Amino acid sequence: MSYKMKLKIGEFSQMMQVTVKTLRHYEQKGLLLPDEVDEWTGYRYYCIDQMQKLNSIRELQRLGFSLEEIKDLYDDHSHKPSIDQLSEKIDDTERQLKQLLARRAQLLEWRGSLKEMNSMEKFSIQSLPEIIVASHRETIPSYESLGLLCVNKIGPEMQRLGCKCPPPGYCFTVEHNKEYTPTNIDIEYCEQVEEMGTDSAIIQFKRISEVPVAISMKHYGPYDRFYQSYVELFKYIEEQGYRIAGQPRCCYIDGAWNQEDPEKWLSIIQVPVENI
């Protein structure tokens, strides 16, 4: 009887450069079971033959096959996809490629727009067109919570509702607190969308009227220094012969999501004004 080498799950994991967590996941899916499990210790052992099977699984995953599809291949002992299955994956890949190219074009346009915005003077006078927005209002514990709120709650809900945002993208927040508070901030997040949708418990759609004249100012740095920019901005508004005619908007261009250094965070404060 020939000797059969056995590898503990950690050794197998290290040699195959795959995490133990992944191996346990494959086991739960019934895709790659240990060759032997010690009934006393619960130790899992893998054999050399399973190295090739693991390689095949990973290769099929790289080609776009789900674990369920791969398991079906092994259950029917074919181990290889059929011509029809490969044709279907090719069609899926071509659809994904078109989506990625469209996304790339939109990102390039957005980047160009942001570069143009970044290069503008510190102050600018402009009009803000009428837009449709997907809105979410919530009381958050701090400004730092806004990023997670967008990523974990607002973004997924907008995606579920099928919201389409015109490039290069425009989003802003409006605060509804009657006085300053460092916590429990009553904030409304608005993101421009192409058309009105059906309201949900999280997202409400509304039309925001045109702002004929707004003065914008670039703010560099963390959000707890907004007051410094407001002092400078309101002084500029007064010097130009205007008065405030609506709630200020804060547009977040660069922040914690793409800049580790808070001093490099860029926000645009937009204040509706009218002539005195």
pLDDT of residue 115: 62
Distance (Å, rounded) from C-alpha 16 to C-alpha 33? 15
List pLDDT tens digits, range 104-115: 888 887 777 666
pLDDT of residue 215: 92
**Residue range 159-188: average pLDDT?**
86
- Ranges of H-type helices in the chain: 9-16, 20-28, 49-62, 67-75, 83-118, 145-149, 155-160, 226-239
pTM over 0.85: no
CATH architecture of the domain formed by 120-275: Alpha-Beta Barrel (3.20)
Which candidate, 172, 78, 80, 182, places its Cα nearest to that of 131?
172
pLDDT of residue 252: 85
Parse the chain into domains and list their residue ranges.
6-81, 82-117, 120-275
Question: Are 161 and 194 a contacting pair, CB within 8 Å?
Answer: no
Q: Which residue has better confidence, 114 or 203?
A: 203
**Tokens describing residue 114:** 């942001």
Q: Under 8 Å CB-to-CB from 232, ≥6 apart: which residues?
A: 217
pLDDT of residue 138: 92
Q: Which fold has domain 6-81?
A: Multidrug-efflux Transporter Regulator; Chain: A; Domain 2 (1.10.1660)
Phi, then psi, of 273 in degrees rounded to 5: -135, 165
**Tokens describing residue 84:** 């029809």
Q: Quote the mean pLDDT of the chain.
A: 86
